[in-house]
Amino acid sequence: MWDVISAFWLQHAPVLSVLLPAFTAVLLLLIGDTDGLSAQGGAHDDARLRWRRRLSMGSVLLGTFMAAQMVWHASQGELLVYQLGEWPAPFGIVLVLDRLSALMVLLTCAVAVPAMWYATGGWDTRGRHFHALFQFQLMGLCGAFLTGDLFNLFVFFEVLLIASYVLLVHGQGRERFRMGVHYVVLNLAASGLFLIGLAMVYAVTGTLNMADVALRVGQLTGDAAVVARAAALVLLVVFGLKAAIVPLYFWLPATYAAASAPVAALFAIMTKVGVYSIIRVHWGVFGVEAGEAALAVQAWLLPLALTTSVLGVLGALAARSMARLVAYLTVSSVGTILAGVGLFTTATLSASLYYTLHSTVVIAGLFLLVELMASQRGEARDKLQPAVAVREPLLLGLMMIFGAASAAGLPPLPGFLGKLMVLESTSGLPAQAWVWTVVLVVGFFSIVGLARAGVVVFWHVQPEQGTDAGASGSSLKLLSAVWAIMLMTVAMAVLASPIKRYTDATALQLADQALYVRAVLGSKRATTPTTRPYDGARPAPPAKTPEQRP
């Protein structure tokens, strides 16, 4: 019986990872919600709130277990292709489970569990349908990481973005609505640009299946190859906006700072969707085997990444609130990740993937920790200005030191290991000096920025005035969410060797384009395009039918 269940699960693992949060969200909507003040309602409202929390938390935990199983399966080296409706690629929709997609789904769940647990401490009652929106966002994230089709990557982008629009303004407030408008407008513009890029790809290849596009791009010449290179650059702009790289990062600090703590923690994985898309498209589709369109973004990606890292840490130094400081550190970490990606070697990519795991988890934890400290500083909240002393200076101070050391990359924490891996992987490369200089300088200024925040919060204190000054200590539930993230950080340091072996294998698998193509297309090395790719020449006259032939 167990073997049957295991075989069924393995066969349908990719689609179940998308359907689980989708069905959970629908069920949560059927259960219903209140006006956002259920804690003040009657017994019926309280019961519905408990059921929503149990169902949502249980779904996230189950999804985490499923993601761990997918990572174990992917570690065997086999790619699992799920054909929806039994339509073969490239004509049908496919979900592809490989080492990278499995790792990113697990990372999503690893961030979602503490964020959801933290939200059940009271944040989920400050607006309507929080849990359903949270699940829809997880659906979009998992789908984006698992899809094998460029158009469906766009679809899942829209799913997660629509959910994020509402989650951003959850709890309401003038600042959240103001930033929500900017966030929506920018992402709608990026979505339109995304469609333009996809249209350019389809015009020259006649397909949007990633494996099929990878085959066809390598065969393009002349004007068609030029269009393909232009499409690669357009897609870099789109993914760069999602990942928040220079000059497209300006929306992120204020947006993430305005969001509620559990939402900002979940948003820590949002920038990694852009990073993942850059890796998947510009390594797998426009990689070294893409002919005249090969490595179309190589000349741009590394300089943009290094500049992003520098400007991100400068923004952290100038930040006037703790939330903005953490948001700018998010931008800086994306720059460090993409520096390894932009060097286009398997060693640097592997190091970047390890650093991705660390930075995402740590940033999520810092957003939660900032809210804990802000809740105990009276009217000052998270502003970096003198305020009343926090109620738990020793506990929160130690947590702040741990989070700062992790984010800045001090030994022996995984941030140090990740940056060390990035530096070692650049050995012998022409850009080694630039990468070393930027990574080390950014690490130093990260320490300075976080130390400044710690001094203001814990040393520059004012005496309490009136009975409303200060706040009570943090609840055990809220603290445990941050502790869980801290434990994950320690685990990544302890398990650094097996994790690094996994990321090494992931980078090698991504570099093997032929393996991906064989897994997705099977014996069909190429397919007849549904439309003739534009080759810059006059269209050939239509073939004559047998009746028209002499």
Task: Kindly write down the DSSP assignment for every residue of 99-157, as one continuous string.
Answer: HHHHHHHHHHHHHHHHHHHHHTTTGGGSSSSHHHHHHHHHHHHHHHHHB-BHHHHHHHH
pLDDT tens by residue, 469-507 = 445 567 888 999 999 999 999 999 999 999 999 999 999
Q: Give the mean model confidence (pLDDT) for residues 417-434.
A: 92
Residue 381 placed within a domain:
yes
* pLDDT score recorded for residue 541: 39
The answer on pLDDT for 400 being more than 80 is: yes
Find which of 260-264, 286-290, 472-476 is predicted with most confidence, using mean pLDDT: 260-264
DSSP sequence for 435-487: HHHHHHHHHHHHHHHHHHHHHHHHTSEE---STTSS-PPPPHHHHHHHHHHHH
Characterize the bridge pairing of strands 387-388 and 80-83: unpaired
Closest CA to 160 of 177, 145, 180: 145
* pLDDT score recorded for residue 39: 44
Residue 141 placed within a domain:
no
How much is the pTM?
Answer: 0.90
Average predicted confidence (pLDDT) for the chain: 87
* pLDDT score recorded for residue 43: 65
The answer on pLDDT for 128 being more than 80 is: yes
Work out the pLDDT band at 42, boundaries 50, 70, 90.
low
Containing structural domain, residue 455 = 297-494
Closest CA to 374 of 465, 253, 257, 270: 257
% of the chain at pLDDT higher than 90: 62
pLDDT tens by residue, 442-465 = 999 999 999 999 999 998 888 776
Q: What is residue 39's three-state secondary structure?
A: helix
Q: Which residue has the higher pLDDT, 170 or 98?
A: 98
The answer on pLDDT for 326 being more than 90 is: yes
Distance CA 280, CA 506 (A): 12
Distance CA 297, CA 240 (A): 12
Residue 267 placed within a domain:
no
Work out the pLDDT band at 78, boundaries 50, 70, 90.
confident
281-296 core/surface letters (b: 16 or more CB in 10 A; e: else): bbbbbbbebbebbbbb
Contacts 24+ apart (CB under 8 A), 30-37: 31/55, 33/128, 33/129, 33/132, 34/128, 35/128, 36/125, 36/126, 36/127, 36/128, 37/125
Number of domains in the chain: 1
| Listed range (70-74, 173-177, 355-359, 463-467) with the worst mean pLDDT | 463-467
Distance CA 526, CA 54 (A): 48
Helices assigned H by DSSP within 375-431: 393-408, 414-425
Residue 486 placed within a domain:
yes
Distance CA 107, CA 119 (A): 19
| Listed range (192-196, 414-418, 486-490, 544-548) with the worst mean pLDDT | 544-548
* pLDDT score recorded for residue 173: 76
* pLDDT score recorded for residue 440: 94
Q: Which residue has the higher pLDDT, 528 or 453?
A: 453
The answer on pLDDT for 521 being more than 80 is: yes
Closest CA to 359 of 415, 311, 317, 308: 415
The answer on pLDDT for 138 being more than 60 is: yes
**Which tokens sit at 406?**
């992790």
Q: Which residue has the higher pLDDT, 277 or 178?
A: 277
* Residues 73 and 97 sit within 8 Å (Cβ to Cβ): yes
Closest CA to 532 of 89, 204, 200, 198: 204
* Residues 368 and 481 sit within 8 Å (Cβ to Cβ): yes
- Give me the torsion for CA of 456, 457, 459, 465, rounded to 10°: 110
The answer on pLDDT for 529 being more than 50 is: no
Q: Give the mean model confidence (pLDDT) for residues 31-41.
A: 57
Residue 70 placed within a domain:
no
Residue 61 placed within a domain:
no
pLDDT tens by residue, 93-107 = 899 999 999 999 999
* pLDDT score recorded for residue 366: 95
Residue 521 placed within a domain:
no
134 phi and psi, to 5 degrees? Answer: -60, -45
Residue 404 placed within a domain:
yes
Residue 466's CB is within 10 A of a number of other CB atoms, namely 7
The answer on pLDDT for 545 being more than 60 is: no
Distance CA 431, CA 195 (A): 34
Peptide bond into 412 cis (omega under 30): yes
pLDDT tens by residue, 347-368 = 999 999 999 999 999 999 999 9
Distance CA 371, CA 263 (A): 11
| Residue indicated by tokens 């949002």 | 270
Work out the pLDDT band at 1, boundaries 50, 70, 90.
low
Closest CA to 427 of 347, 546, 308: 347
The answer on pLDDT for 195 being more than 60 is: yes
User: Kindly report the CA angle at 102 between 98 and 104, in degrees rounded to 5?
Assistant: 125
